[in-house]
Structure 1
Amino acid sequence: MDGAAQQYLDALIAAARGVLGENLVGAYAAGSIGLDAFQPGRSDVDVALTVTDALPEPQKRALVAALRHENLPCPARGLELVVYRCAVARSGTAEPGFEVELNSGPRMDFRETYSPDARPVADGLFWYALDRSILHQAGRTLFGAPAAEAFADVRPAELHQLLVDALSWWIARPTPPGDEPAPGTEDAILGACRSLVKHRHGGWLPKIAAGRRLATEPTAPDRVASIEKAIAARTGGPPPSGPEARAFQLWVLDEISGSPARPGSAG
């Protein structure tokens, strides 16, 4: 993580404390920062805050106003922030369970959501528990209890279903036709690699590291070629085509959905 991202996180915590006061008991970097794979200019800043008590809606709106990009400029693609009550973070439930969700940044569509019921089902409800699973394993504690204590992992059977749901959601999205390179397909392939590594081995890896691990395991040559192309695209190479990425996702979904949850897959 670069210095600008660290300064931003420090300012974000200060602004959140100004709104939430003593109810704010923890702050954690998730995603690429937690997994030590942050790429300046490409990665999001993923943050989870924990509070003791539920937030009234005026306070939720005040927090969003304080942290949105227009008031606290994000030096990355954008901020993805979620606030949880401590009881939810430690529950291990597969439910979204959040108090506030905020997406805001210079290259990110704005989103503010103040309860799970207001989150459109079509946008996916699996993100939150998967993020809490990553936080349990690899969250970077900014302040508060260690992330492994503040967040429980999801139970194996529920985590298995979340991985299936996430892949099914991605596969249902439109994909560019034809054999031309399609921007974004590299993340589709590498995200599927991360899900498959979690399913096979029980641990979360950064996307590129997950792709490299799968490439060293018994895998069809065409799948290895897709992984290598996706990794190269992260540093400027041409991305895979839409059909190639879709075929890769379907292969991963077939393996995960066709085999049971592993006892160790909850960390």
Structure 2
Amino acid sequence: MELTARPRAGRDDTGAMSPVPAPPREVRAYLDELVRRTRAVCGPHLVGVLAVGSLALGDYRHGRSDVDVAVVVAPSLPRRALPDLAGALAHPALPCPAAGLELVVYPADFAARPSGEAGYLMDLNTGPSLPERVSHDPRESPAFWYVLDRSLAHQSGLPLFGGPAREVIAAPERPAVLAALRASVREHAAGEGHVTDNRVLNGCRSVVYCRTGRWFAKRAAAEAIAADEEAFRPLVEDALRSFELPRESALPLPAARVRDFLTWAAERVDEAVEAEDGRTGPR
């Protein structure tokens, strides 16, 4: 499997700074206003705002993708500011032009160290295609979502305010990421609440991460799996075609083939976990 990671902002091999890519034009004004409102609420306690997910990997699809954002604040932020921030950013108070906004607020001391925990101060889901949700208790949510998001953020986070992603969010250690991937693949295999094409593409990206140790956009990962795994090529290609459509127009994919593929993906993740356990010994 040959994949080349998309160039990201940050220091190159010579130590020089590479340019920071601009967010897609469809969401640029929205992100500017999101940062402005976040700064207004958090004031001097705001450490950083990062675009993550498809925005960070250069694979945002308008009408299909969510806007994923990580906010890092000083531990001194008054807790009463969090409901104010949720109110300021919730759709339609701030109309979301994407399918939805998934925004997570982390304390800076937690974000700065590797962790396999959720660790958030606030998790906000809002937007025209997302069920409204605000959580202030990380025990309410499976930790794997946040471990994977922070891993991707450390690698490829797009700074909207504050310093480079690698200076704001630490990378979870590989065993924690693999354990989170194992949970993620099983979540998508269950299927509840997930568009079928996204379940397949998530499986592709999970396998590619296990093989490369890098995060790639879902479409790039799916193309690599389609090239390498002939048995699953028709399903993955159908998932890619469906992914070009809005969520409500997603194509039906054969349930048995999806189940077989996700079982295969789970086995590849299990192999990576076992290999890692063999390298590190009992923990």
| TM-score (normalised: structure 1) | 0.88
Distance 2:240 2:25 in 1: 25
Q: 1:224 — aligned with what?
A: 233
Q: 2:4 — aligned with what?
A: none
Q: 1:165 — aligned with what?
A: 183
Q: Is the 8 A contact 2:182 2:270 kept in 1?
A: yes
Q: Is the 8 A contact 1:44 1:80 kept in 2?
A: yes
How far did 1:131 drift? 0.2
Q: 2:264 — aligned with what?
A: 251
Distance 1:83 1:40 in 2: 24
Q: 1:101 — aligned with what?
A: 123
Q: 1:9 — aligned with what?
A: 31
Q: Once the two structures are aligned, what percentage of the paired residues are identical? A: 35
Count of residue correspondences: 250
Correspondence 1:1-267 to 2 at 5 A: 1-117=23-139, 119-120=140-141, 124-174=142-192, 184-217=195-228, 219=229, 221-236=230-245, 238-259=251-272, 260-261=275-276
Distance 1:115 1:5 in 2: 29
Q: Is the 8 A contact 1:29 1:142 kept in 2?
A: yes
Q: 1:179 — aligned with what?
A: none
Q: In structure 2, what residue type is equivalent to 1:126?
A: F
Distance 2:254 2:162 in 1: 44
| TM-score (normalised: structure 2) | 0.83
How far did 1:193 drift? 0.4
Distance 1:8 1:203 in 2: 29
How far did 1:216 drift? 2.4
RMSD of aligned residue pairs (Cα, Å): 1.9
Secondary structure of the corresponding residue to residue 109 of structure 1:
coil
How far did 1:238 drift? 3.1
How far did 1:173 drift? 3.9
Per-residue CA distance 1:198-257 (angstroms, 9 max, x = gap):
01111101111000112222x2x2211111111111224734222221211110001111
Unaligned segments of structure 2, at least 5 residues: 1-22
Q: In structure 2, what residue type is equivalent to 1:204?
A: W
How far did 1:54 drift? 5.0
Unaligned segments of structure 1, at least 5 residues: 176-182
Q: Is the 8 A contact 1:5 1:76 kept in 2?
A: yes
Distance 1:46 1:15 in 2: 16
Distance 1:83 1:188 in 2: 26
Distance 1:246 1:138 in 2: 30
